[in-house]
Amino acid sequence: MFVRTDAEGNIQSIDESEIISSIDKSYFVNKIPSKPFFLMKSDSEKSQILVNIGVVLFIGAIIYFLLLLRGIFAPPVFILIYLFVIVYMVIDFFVWRKTGIRMIFLNSEGMHIYSGQNEKEEFIPYLSMTDINLHKKGARKVMNILLGGNADRVVPGVTLFSGKRKRITNDAFDDKKFEHLIELLSSRWGE
> Mean pLDDT, consecutive 10-residue segments, the chain of 191 residues?
51 48 37 62 81 90 83 78 92 90 85 87 88 82 86 79 86 85 74 47
Confidence (pTM): 0.67
Domain parsing of the chain, residue ranges: 1-31, 32-42+100-189, 45-99
Residues 6 or more apart whose CB falls under 8 angstroms from that of 78 comprise 63, 64, 67
Distance CA 169, CA 100 (A): 10
Topology annotation, domain 32-42+100-189:
PH-domain like (2.30.29)
Distance CA 191, CA 179 (A): 13
pLDDT of residue 107: 82
Which has the closest alpha carbon to 78: 95, 59, 54? 59
Regarding beta strands 29-30 and 38-41, do their DSSP bridges make them parallel or antiparallel, or are they unpaired? Answer: unpaired
